[in-house]
Structures are given as C-alpha cells and as structure tokens.
C-alpha cells in the first residue's frame, strides 16, 4: 500500500521531535531521522531541505499551537485578573502534556542555528512573551496586579511553567489540572494579585475565576 505523503510527513515530524528531544538538536543527524522514519536519506529531502528547516517547522508549530490555546482561553474572559489567571493556567497545563516539543526544542542552543533562523526562533518566542506581557499590563492598569517587576515576573512565570515538563509524568499523583491551578495561584502571588481590589471592582466578584482560583489555591492556604 502506498504511503500518503501527508502521513509520511507526519511520521518524519514525529521522528524528528522524538530524536531532537532525546538526543538534542546537535546530536541528531538527518540519517537518524531517516532511519527512524523508515525512509532513505535521499527520500527525507523530499520532506525538508535541511535539519534546520525541520527543526524550525516543529518549533514554530509548537509555539503557534500554544498561542492558539491561549487565544482560545482568553476569548472567554473579560476581567483582566481572570485573563491573567487563565493565561498562567493554560501555560502550566500545556507543559504537563507537551513535554517533548516545547522544552527540548525550545531550549535548543541558538548557536546551533544560522543567525537568520535564530532570529526567527527568538521572534516567535518574543511574540508569546509579548502576549503575556499585554495580559499582565491589563491587570496592572486595573490595579488587580501590583508589581514593579512585571518584566521579570513575566519571564519567571513562563520559565516556571516550562519547568513542569521536566518532572511531570502522566502517572503523577497530581493531575494536570491541580498542577495548573497551583501554578496559576503561584503566578498570582508573583505579580502581587490584590484580591480585595479585585473583588470590589470585578463585575463577577467572588464568582470570577481569579477570585475562585485565589480562594482555593493561593499559596499559604
Ligand atoms: Zn474578575
């Protein structure tokens, strides 16, 4: 039976994710990827023009997938504190289920890439960081979040979430949801969430996801 080109392309991508995550970008050759995909090296070049292009395609798809999840989650919330909470929650939850793609690909040393590609990888990461910065900015403007360190808070929260993928396993006693909730509450503490200011002003009051998350999962409770 002839293999459909899109099936094969998927197989190549899966093989590359697996190998890049296990052996690192530098430690993976086109020969390794071809072997794992059960095709010849010559045939592999029908799917990609280089290892770097393949890496870039996977990296971009991983970040775009995460940004899509964030836009979808944000679209349901109007309160700025709630938007902050769902962003932090979605970021953490995503990293309980996407260990291979985001962490290992995302941590590939930039010096392995051509300057042009490295710039593109940085740009796509900056876009994601910028999305979160805008969300934090809305919360600060509303006085629901209070921090002078929002740039570092942004990076600290994102890195903390990415770190979940280093230790989280599906058989973990904690569920994805409980980890994501606790991390969202940690994130709220990092940006100085003011529950009194929020509950006084937010139209949803204590029914808002920011209030319920803080009530249930705030550090120290
Ligand atoms: Zn609210």
Tens-place pLDDT, residues 204-221: 999 999 999 999 999 986
CATH class entry, domain 1-48: mainly alpha
Whether the pTM exceeds 0.75: the reply is: yes
165 near 98, Cβ under 8 Å?
Answer: yes
**Angle 171-172-174 from CA coordinates, rounded to 5°:** 135
**Angle 27-106-71 from CA coordinates, rounded to 5°:** 150
Phi first, then psi, for residue 62 (nearest 5°) are -65, -45
Interval between CA 193 and ligand 1 midpoint (Å):
11
Interval between CA 88 and ligand 1 midpoint (Å):
15
Interval between CA 80 and ligand 1 midpoint (Å):
7
Interval between CA 61 and ligand 1 midpoint (Å):
32
Domain range annotation of the chain: 1-48, 58-217
Task: Say what the pLDDT of residue 77 is.
Answer: 97
Distance CA 25, CA 17 (A): 10
Domain 58-217 fold is Tetracycline Repressor; domain 2 (1.10.357)
Tens-place pLDDT, residues 149-184: 999 999 999 999 988 988 888 887 889 999 999 999
The structure tokens 């296990």 sit at: 22
pLDDT-wise least confident of 2-6, 97-101, 161-165, 209-213:
2-6
pLDDT over threshold 80, residue 99 = no
Interval between CA 144 and ligand 1 midpoint (Å):
9
Interval between CA 108 and ligand 1 midpoint (Å):
38
- Topology agreement, domain 1-48 and domain 58-217: no
Tens-place pLDDT, residues 41-69: 999 999 999 999 998 888 888 888 999 99
């Amino acid at each position: 039976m002839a293999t459909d080109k899109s099936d094969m392309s998927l197989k190549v991508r899966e093989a590359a994710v697996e190998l890049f995550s296990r052996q690192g970008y530098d430690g993976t050759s086109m020969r390794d990827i071809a072997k794992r995909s059960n095709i010849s090296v010559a045939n592999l070049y029908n799917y990609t023009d280089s290892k770097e292009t393949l890496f870039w395609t996977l990296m971009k798809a991983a970040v775009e997938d995460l940004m899509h999840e964030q836009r979808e989650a944000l679209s349901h919330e109007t309160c700025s504190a709630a938007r902050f909470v769902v962003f932090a929650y979605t970021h953490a939850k995503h990293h309980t289920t996407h260990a291979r793609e985001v962490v290992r690909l995302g941590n590939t040393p930039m010096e392995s890439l051509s300057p042009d590609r490295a710039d593109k990888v940085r740009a796509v990461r900056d876009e994601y960081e910028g999305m979160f910065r805008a969300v934090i900015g809305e919360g600060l403007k509303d006085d629901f979040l209070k921090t002078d360190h929002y740039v570092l808070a942004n990076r600290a929260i994102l890195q903390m979430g990415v770190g979940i993928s280093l230790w989280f396993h599906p058989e973990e006693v904690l569920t994805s949801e409980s980890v994501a909730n606790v991390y969202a509450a940690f994130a709220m503490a990092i940006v100085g969430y003011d529950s009194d200011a929020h509950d006084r002003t937010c139209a949803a009051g204590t029914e808002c996801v920011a209030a319920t998350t803080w009530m249930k999962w705030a550090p120290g409770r």
